[in-house]
Chains A and B, each alone.
Chain A
């Protein structure tokens, strides 16, 4: 059996698996629903997710340990993930194959030549990882202050090593090295003395922007599946909508379309996970290579070379994605997958100069503190950023979220959406709640998002914790925000229209929205003067509101300047008169000539911030169609004590 066929089977297997995982990610226990499908498995296998979160949080969360398996296999075998497993890679390979199908062999060979630009992905990787490693780096800088002894031992060891090298005369310029050593120690000590810790130096996990697995999950979850669901077969209970997906779709589409000009463009030039695998494969035990140096240099082995790793001459192991095409393309069977290095030699590891490395690292280290000068993690936080229940405090959240869109896909009411710039640039595409779009608010009996989140940016909470019962009775329910009534837009507050939709829909018990009854005199267009009155009838001198316009049960008649001010419910009216309910007849009868006020009974909503959990059902149901008259902001959210609205007792 041909190994290339096996590779294709393997790629199809994982691609189908990936699509299956995305489709079943809807809440429920049916076969085509979430059940126990390990829908995060491909994310967990991606070691860049594991490594990124390890740097930001110093933990490897549960399933992310699978990344270790990938790392070990990559060290043994090379970049098998790219060529055999990655669903995004498979997609690129397939599109690239379609685009090249009818090209001549010479063109194909030419397309697969190594390009120096392929080192860009290493810059990207280093840029993203230093961003994640900020806190670790800061701790390292502080080492002389915090662990002086350790620092001393380290420095002594380095000194000993240098002396050792100088003594053995392996070091080219011992004097220069000595000066460098002193400079490093001095700078280190100085930095440690002046560095003070605040949140601007905290790490930020941004690998999700370009990590292929996070990217492809996000794009399929938020763009492809909703598109398919609306146009073809249903892949979720109701058609899905997501706010602001255009840039997500644009990135995805560009990545796919670039294959038309260069095969596997994304994998070769952009992919930070590929770069990580490239570095890891440096010492790969097995590798593709030539058995003999001499060959006719026909270049056929590069006809279908997916990694553009130049197997003809000195092969670049860190670029080789193990597509194995060269093995069978070589007419002379000179290429093989073996333990020995290629007979034509190998180009050592990533094509990256020290200058490029430092430039990427420094810009990565600078960008997050720079972004955070805006203060969006401190006093300048955006209250529009309502995070799902169980989301960690913002700083911790940003050090975990990979923007994969799993929470947005699983949310049964479709209220979780990719953020725009509410959370600053670093919060781009992280989950934020939008109560206008979904089918309801955030269901208070649902804990799906936290239990699916692959990195615990949203914690896996229990229903007890969410509702604040049993063991969590002291903590109270988890609040994601608070609803505020906009009295200028509310029907009952501003427009004399009876409406208590928000109160009725409040799912909290006892209700977080209470109403207070008021009677407001309304403008009926003309003054209503009594012509004739009986116990429950009044006839007007002129004309009043049209037939039964006041008969909804919400309107009341009050006789002006009468001793009895009690409003009486109008049961029917016509142009020239009205009738009130029999329970409370007029007594004394209104005198002809006296004025009648028409009052509307309103129940004006008030939010009790102590009970409100910010679920947004009220905002979703509010009948004011545009900007709702009751809206949830993140004020009082439980995840950040600094956002508390009320004094806790």
Chain B
């Protein structure tokens, strides 16, 4: 109809161009549809089981060791306790990256002994560096606001001054973990990331009364690694403490019983809750350390079922005398 052959030509070119583009679009849409097609829909919302576990940080002694040192000066008793175990060099090698798991649960002053005392953090950090540690990390997932807890307890200050790095728990540091043979810690968020490039783990706990579990010591201290809505575990406190002890295989644990919280734990709040028991316990067996700790609180083993459960699970022995603990005093 149109006499102008030029226009026809232009039209044809335009059309072919358009056709090609339409073809590409259709092919792309078809490929996307094919690629992303999902006939079944999402499956059960159950999360995929996690295979993550914490690695074994124990130093693999032929037999477990323990030392119990009496004295009021934390730095001195800690130093002597370590010396009697063979010295810090036995635990921390040159170039090791060390993580101190402290108890910073509450934003309360150090003198109330609800948290790990800054003095032993300073001393432990110093000793680690003395043994040639490359770095020292201090961490915990406290109950109260993390920043406030680390500051008000004096832990942050003590750690920094001694050259350690404080890691505050943030959401992205938690990963779901499954503890082998555990019923409770399955796919549960745990403060995992700070452990990924660590060679040695030292648990540092104060000796405290604990209303729900009886006493909070080195095993209960790992509770501060749990994330999520962990209070649900208070429905089976003995079970969770046992599984925590299964989860963490530390290089060393320190139980600071210089000032023990005898009543109104785990928060305390009054100096009258405290008693100067003047003891520092160091060891490689967390069950044995806790079993000794209970005796300082004046309680019997059968009041704390988790000790027996942990022993039955093969984590350690409640009969600490079997370890021939080194006793001493300053």
Contacts and interface: CB of A to CB of B under 8 A. Distances in A.
A475 B21 CA distance: 51
Contacts of A646: 232, 235
Given A642-B229, A646-B235, A58 B36 contact: yes
B36 A285 contact: no
Nearest to B240: A647
Interface in B2-43: 2, 11, 14-15, 18-19, 21-22, 25-26, 29-30, 32-33, 36-43
B168 to A, nearest CB: 15
B305 to A, nearest CB: 16
Interface string A340-356: 11010000000000000
Contacts of B14: 341
Interface string B256-283: 0000000000000000000000000000
A68 interface: yes
Contact of B41 (A71, A341, A460): A460
Contact of A283 (B18, B43, B236): B18
B41 A62 contact: yes
A644 interface: yes
B45 A393 contact: yes
Contacts of A341: 11, 14-15
Contacts of A460: 41
Given A465-B44, A475-B44, A647 B184 contact: yes
Given A75-B25, A285-B19, A647-B184, A60 B11 contact: no
Interface string A316-347: 00000000000000000000000111010000
Contacts of A459: 41-45
A72 B228 CA distance: 47
Contacts of A640: 45
A641 B44 CA distance: 12
A189 interface: no
A640 B45 CA distance: 8
Give the most central of B33, B43, B47, B236: most A CB within 10 Å: B33
Interface residues of B, number: 38
A477 to B, nearest CB: 13
B245 to A, nearest CB: 18
Contacts of B61: none
Contact of A649 (B39, B171, B183): B183
A506 to B, nearest CB: 23
Nearest to A197: B172
Contacts of B171: 198
B18 A285 contact: yes
B26 A75 contact: yes
B92 to A, nearest CB: 32
B187 to A, nearest CB: 8
B46 A71 contact: no
B231 to A, nearest CB: 10
B32 A54 contact: yes
Interface in B140-173: 171-172
Contacts, number: 97
A75 B22 CA distance: 6
Nearest to B183: A649
Contacts of A110: none
Nearest to B176: A641
Interface string B184-203: 10010000000000000000
A76 B47 contact: no
A285 B42 contact: no
A641 B39 contact: no
Nearest to A343: B2
A280 interface: yes
A179 to B, nearest CB: 30
Contacts of B44: 459, 465, 475
B29 A65 contact: no
A60 B18 contact: no
B330 interface: no
Give the most central of B1, B38, B41, B44: most A CB within 10 Å: B41
Contacts of B2: 292, 343
A62 B38 contact: yes
A475 to B, nearest CB: 7
B172 A196 contact: yes
Contacts of B25: 75, 280, 283
Nearest to B25: A75
Given A75-B25, A475-B44, A68 B33 contact: yes
Q: Which 5 A-B pairs have the closest CB atoms?
A: A456-B41, A59-B38, A68-B33, A283-B22, A283-B21
Interface of B: 1-2, 11, 14-15, 18-19, 21-22, 25-26, 29-30, 32-33, 36-47, 171-172, 183-184, 187, 228-229, 232-233, 235-236
10 contacts: A59-B38, A60-B32, A68-B29, A71-B26, A284-B22, A292-B2, A340-B11, A341-B14, A475-B46, A645-B232
Interface of A: 50, 54, 57-62, 65, 67-68, 71-72, 75-76, 196-198, 280, 283-285, 291-292, 339-341, 343, 392-393, 396, 456, 459-460, 465, 475, 638-642, 644-647, 649
